[in-house]
Amino acid sequence: MSAPALKLSQVERHYRQGDTRLDILCGADVALWPGEAVALVGPSGAGKSTLLHVAGLLEKPDSGEIFIEGTKTAYMSDDARTALRRMTIGFVYQFHHLLPEFSAEENVILPQLIRGLGRGEAQRRAGELLDYLGLLPRRTHRPAELSGGEQQRVAIARAVANAPRILLADEPTGNLDPHTAEHVFDAMMALVRATRLGALVATHNMDLAARMDRRVTLRDGKVVELS
Ligand code: ADP
For 157-204, what is each residue's pLDDT tens digit?
999 999 999 999 999 999 899 999 999 999 999 999 999 999 999 999
DSSP state, residue 55 = H
CB 73 within 8 A of CB 84: yes
pLDDT score for 2: 81
- What does 108-177 look like in DSSP terms, one character per residue? HHHHHHHHT--HHHHHHHHHHHHHHTT-GGGTT--GGGS-HHHHHHHHHHHHTTT--SEEEEESTTTTS-
47 C-alpha to center of ligand 1: Å? 6
48 C-alpha to center of ligand 1: Å? 8
CB 136 within 8 A of CB 190: no
Confidence class of residue 1 from pLDDT cuts 50, 70 and 90? low
pLDDT score for 71: 95
Pocket of ligand 1 (CB under 6 A): 15, 17, 22, 24, 42, 44-50
Q: Angle at CA 170, nearest 5°, toward 18 and 81?
A: 75
Q: Which amino acid is at 74?
A: A
Pocket of ligand 1, candidates 16, 24, 26, 60: which has the most ligand atoms within 8 Å of its Cβ, to mutate?
24
Task: Give the β-pairing of 89-92 and 71-72.
Answer: unpaired
Pocket of ligand 1, candidates 13, 14, 49: which has the most ligand atoms within 8 Å of its Cβ, to mutate?
49
The answer, yes or no, to whether residue 84 has pLDDT greater than 80, is: yes
Q: Which amino acid is at 106?
A: E
Mean model confidence pLDDT for the chain: 95
What confidence tens digit (pLDDT) does each residue in 2-34 have?
A: 899 999 999 999 999 999 999 999 999 999 999
* Prediction pTM value: 0.95
DSSP state, residue 64 = E
pLDDT score for 220: 94
CA of residue 29 relative to chain centroid, distance: 18
Identify the CA nearest to 169 among candidates 223, 101, 59, 90: 90
Question: By percentage, how much of the chain surpasses pLDDT 90?
Answer: 96
Helix (H, G, I), strand (E, B) or coil at 184: helix
Number of H helices, E strands in the chain: 7, 10
Confidence class of residue 60 from pLDDT cuts 50, 70 and 90? very high
DSSP H or E segment with residue 106: helix 104-115
Distance from C-alpha of 201 to C-alpha of 215, rounded to nearest angstrom: 9
DSSP state, residue 47 = S
